[in-house]
Chains A and B, each alone.
Chain A
Amino acid sequence: MLKLQGIHWSTPEGEEILKGIDLDIPEKELTVITGPNGGGKTSLAKMIAGIYTPSAGKIELDGQDITNWNVTERAKAGIAYAFQQPVRFKGLTVRDLLELSAGANIEEAKLCGMLSTVGLCAQEYINRSVDSSLSGGESKRIEIATVLNRKGASLLVFDEPEAGIDLWSFGKLTEAFERLKAEGSRSIVIISHQERIMEIADNIAVIANGRVRTFGKRADILPELLYGEKQPFCPVAGTKKEVC
């Protein structure tokens, strides 16, 4: 599906963030990427979406070299990306964004269904501007809805979808990811620190200090991650969990 080989990337200021990432994202499975803050997860997600271009390394999608493809080309090739910090627009409405994402006009009933999936009461939101009048949680859920409903997307990448979302909505969101996984038609990558999301993953990759610390099946990785000794996170005194 998606193959990352020796990916390096530095900020414009020269700080090296990704220091040789090697990762194969399996097709039609749910892969969670986790790890400590500042370890390079979001940079990696932006690399997959084409927002960042690697200084070295190669990215292949279904065997095709897409390393130098721009954001639009990757989107058209089937990569959908949900931002960690949703973008605001003065004037563009929720309907506008969902229709752009779906590549077609959408009936109101269907729009309502899309928004309900992410825990929004649809009628109140369809014609609202995606601007600062929306709370962080609301805009986050709309952002996720644009990716869940992307036309022709075969790889969905979500950057910390749980951030800013209340517990009830998070429960609905987790259910949506489970349904998506059960459909088995698309590959899913979720960057997350949430145990509940890791629990529904097929695979888990741990990224720390710009490298893949470990990658494998959930059953092999999660117990070690939560209770094992080889934890990639900062230890917290008196507990077995890591919350760095």
Chain B
Amino acid sequence: MNIITEKLLSIVSDWDGKFKGAFNIREDSSCAARQNSENIKIENKEGKPGIVVRVSGKAKGETVFIPACVTKSGIDDLVYNDFYIGEGADVIVVAGCGVHSDGEEEARHNGIHRFFIGKNARVVYREKHIGTGEGTGAKRIDPVTEITMEQGAYMEMDTSQIGGVTSSDRRTTAHLAAEAKLIIRERLLTDGTQTAKSDFVVTLDGDDSGVDLISRSVAKGNSVQEYRSVIEGNCRCTGHSECDAILAGNGIVNAAPALNAHHIDASLIHEAAIGKIAGEQIIKLCTLGLTEEEAEQKIIEGFLK
């Protein structure tokens, strides 16, 4: 692995020189390192670039790391990763992508992840994205996540874009069977002329299934964000979505949340708030000795934490 990859890994997947357990490190469209564990097997995907991760139902509290790094401009990395989570498994999947460019050409990672989560399995999926480098070429990350959850499955998806990405187009879809629970937390920070699109469609197909979708974003500079979420309630189910955005400078946020209830016992809620930081919040932190700039920074850090 080159030094840029190591730096990106430390940011997006808490790399400290090694991973414990199963992992697959992707560097500039190739596999840089891979390791299986007793309960987690990683193999190449046939016919397409990418991997297949098979987690046995015996996996309990194990972590699998599958970060991807693009370390130079001119690379357009497309990868298809599938995850088969066995019945009753309990696993943490740490993905994450870093795109670095010091050149004029675009650097891009496009990861298409499909999760097939077995009955009563539990998955925590962490996905952190960042762009680095002084190059003028765009740094693009366009993740696609498709989730299929069987009865009683549980998934927590924590996705964040913490800066430096010129443009992103995130698309997430999920289908939940009975008693399945999905929690999605999105955190997004854009600045300058960056753009970010987020599109979530969650379909609740089984009785007593539920989703909690919370998006927090900050649009600074002249950046533009577009947010769309759809929760489809086709049964006795609960759905909650919350979209909060802070505007700073000339940032723009367009949010279009939607709730579609197709069943009398579908209980769907949406909350949304977009606006600049409240003046009283700034003043409160100033009474603690912070300058207005420090107060704004602290409020944004807390909001995205």
Contacts and interface: CB of A to CB of B under 8 A. Distances in A.
Interface in B268-305: 278, 280-281, 283-292, 298-299, 301-305
B302 A72 contact: no
A144 to B, nearest CB: 13
Nearest to B285: A100
A150 B302 contact: no
Given A87-B280, A89-B281, A90-B244, A71 B304 contact: no
B302 A89 contact: yes
Given A76-B289, A100-B290, A71 B283 contact: yes
Contact of A72 (B289, B301, B304): B289
A91 B284 contact: no
B305 A72 contact: no
Given A51-B283, A71-B283, A89-B281, A100 B288 contact: yes
A87 B281 contact: yes
Contacts of B284: 83, 87
Given A89-B281, A100-B298, A150 B304 contact: no
A42 interface: no
Contacts of B283: 51, 71, 87
Contacts of B281: 87, 89
Contacts of A187: none
Q: Secondary structure at chain A's binding surface: helix, strand, loop or mixed?
A: mixed
Given A51-B283, A87-B284, A72 B292 contact: yes
A97 B244 CA distance: 21
Most buried by A among B216, B284, B305: B284
Interface in A74-112: 75-76, 80-81, 83, 87, 89-93, 96-97, 100-101, 103
Contact of B302 (A75, A92, A101): A92
A151 B288 CA distance: 9
Contacts of B304: 91
Nearest to A81: B287
Interface residues of B, number: 22
Contacts of A225: none
B76 to A, nearest CB: 35
A49 interface: yes
Interface string A134-166: 000000000000100011000000000000000
A75 B64 CA distance: 48
Contacts of A100: 285, 288, 290, 298
Contacts of B287: 49, 51, 71, 75, 80-81
Contacts of A90: 216, 244, 302-303
Nearest to A49: B287
A200 B5 CA distance: 64
A34 B259 CA distance: 51
B305 to A, nearest CB: 5
A146 B305 contact: no
A100 B285 CA distance: 8
B286 A70 contact: yes
B288 A150 contact: yes
Interface of B: 216, 244, 278, 280-281, 283-292, 298-299, 301-305
Interface of A: 49, 51, 70-72, 75-76, 80-81, 83, 87, 89-93, 96-97, 100-101, 103, 146, 150-151
15 contacts: A51-B283, A51-B287, A71-B286, A75-B286, A75-B287, A75-B288, A76-B289, A81-B287, A83-B280, A87-B281, A89-B281, A90-B216, A91-B305, A100-B288, A100-B290
